[in-house]
Chains A and B, each alone.
Chain A
């Protein structure tokens, strides 16, 4: 009789434990889906509010005080010019730093110091970069709020990401490749230039494109530098005043508490911004996949 009771007790506890396990599995699944549900609601809301406003006139029009006539060509051009500064500057500085750290620096205190410094920089809030840009580029060098000032600030902001990605790409190049090159009598720089860099290029490009897409969406540093919300002429070069897509979203979102239509304009601008990011990310994934097939 005793044994029976114990057996029943054990089997009841076992059922309980299995049940709790099964239930928590679904709770964990729901938690995982939560983020995805919010993502779909967000995208649905943005399209719901903005899609009707997205047309040719909106894409090519100038800013206007009347929501029905406002367009974002200025912001599109501003984003374009900003990228024209950010892309070459970060590629040059990022890849250069990565080559130095991976291939030239002696493993030691200095290299460790630079490496620690880079990972600390990656954790600095973007708005602090904005203050650096405001103080150094906009005020001390007297650039004001032109594309060049914004671009240099943005470049410093995404520099840590580009450096780390380039370092990983360089480290992934198989050693025999460079050894063969040295064996043929090539110098170190020749080996880097014609063997290591071409082989690491897909990895470097993937990192660079992903960090560029970060720069396209980043708003805080530009707000701090003081990009105006006023009607400005289209920027025609890196020395012009400018605005970018996220800044336009920012001002229109603030204005939406006054005039409801501005929320539609902000949403339509977000659609353009998200499509641009999607294109960039797809490019990065395509490059990465091609690269993975190679090795």
Chain B
């Protein structure tokens, strides 16, 4: 019977369709449930990165401290990893790092702050819109380019004025690093100053203050925590900077405060040791991790400090 046959055929077709639909819905549901889990796995990569950094640094640093006492490392003023009787005092590197960062901040803090004041308090909207992106180009230039600039231009230029300046010294990379940090301090401080409510400015202006007095006595105090946070971040950036100091400050492990001399920073030491192909398992190899751990802790503390300062400032408004 052809008619019945056709009906069953259609019936089977519909049943199949329903089943298929059911099937695809089940699939879709389990797919929807799997997605958050899968995305969580992706998100955990950033946690794994932190764990990876801390674990590698910590385990090798512990190995280093089994060979070199912690006290010797943190109080030793001589660093001679390659000599017959190697000494591993980190102080020369810390002095180099702190000195170069201080020089950088001596350049970046006043100039960055003054730029921020100009952009936030004096400049017209039009000027601000042209100058700010131009300043940001400075921040986007690769540090290796700054290193080249410090080594081939700034150092020879400085030697014209300072006769005793060595071909590699801590002064020139410090200054250039400061230039690199200017836009960061300018932009963060400007943000802090722009978020000071206008009513406060207007009040002071109405009492007869000049722009400068408003800035000095109202805007800067009100934005102080944001400004300080930008300085701390700048220092952290200077401590972690590598290529400028590696190229322009040399590899002499000097324990000195003479800024015309060559000094090595923590980052430059790491570059020197890895570039020198330190055999895995040697004490020099482990010293790499101890220095990197010190660097990591330094910058982490700075970043946490900056965050806690700027959080306070956010509560103020």
Contacts and interface: CB of A to CB of B under 8 A. Distances in A.
B39 A100 contact: yes
Given A121-B49, A125-B239, A246-B144, A49 B152 contact: yes
A230 interface: no
A226 B277 contact: yes
Contact of B271 (A29, A34, A220, A267): A220
Contacts of B316: none
Contacts of A231: none
A206 to B, nearest CB: 14
Interface string A103-122: 01100000001100111110
A125 B242 contact: yes
Contacts of A270: 145, 148
Interface string B279-304: 01000000011001001100110111
Nearest to A37: B179
B140 A223 contact: no
A128 B140 CA distance: 20
Given A21-B211, A24-B212, A39-B138, A131 B152 contact: no
A241 to B, nearest CB: 15
Contacts of B56: 131-132, 135-136
Contact of A101 (B43, B131, B186, B213): B43
Nearest to B296: A128
B137 interface: yes
A249 B148 contact: yes
Interface string A58-85: 0000000000000000000000000000
A139 B289 CA distance: 14
Instruction: Classify chain A: how many residues form its interface, as a range.
Output: 35 or more
Interface stretch (A170-178, A197-205, A251-259): A251-259
A42 interface: yes
A21 B212 contact: yes
Contact of B288 (A21, A131, A132, A246): A131
Contacts of A99: 39
Contacts of B218: none
A131 B135 CA distance: 31
Interface residues of B, number: 82
Given A18-B210, A104-B40, A250 B46 contact: no
Interface string A226-257: 10000000000000000000100110011011
A92 interface: yes
Interface stretch (B29-37, B64-72, B83-91): B29-37
Contact of A104 (B36, B186, B292): B36
B152 A100 contact: no
Contact of B142 (A32, A120, A218): A218
A132 B295 contact: no
A163 B49 CA distance: 14
B151 A127 contact: no
A35 B299 contact: no
Contacts of A163: 46
Contact of A127 (B40, B167, B271): B271
Given A42-B149, A104-B36, A124-B53, A160 B142 contact: no
A100 B114 contact: no
Interface of A: 17-18, 20-21, 24-25, 27-29, 31-32, 34-36, 38-39, 41-42, 45-46, 49, 92-93, 96-97, 99-101, 104-105, 113-114, 117-121, 123-132, 134-136, 139, 156, 159-160, 163, 187-189, 213-214, 216-220, 223-226, 246, 249-250, 253-254, 256-257, 263, 266-267, 270, 273-274, 277, 281
20 contacts: A17-B210, A21-B211, A25-B212, A28-B117, A31-B118, A35-B179, A41-B153, A49-B152, A100-B40, A117-B47, A120-B304, A121-B50, A125-B299, A129-B53, A135-B56, A136-B52, A220-B267, A223-B246, A249-B148, A266-B148
Given A99-B39, A131-B270, 16 more contacts: A35-B179, A97-B39, A97-B45, A114-B46, A123-B303, A127-B271, A127-B295, A131-B289, A134-B274, A163-B46, A188-B35, A217-B140, A217-B145, A220-B242, A253-B151, A273-B142
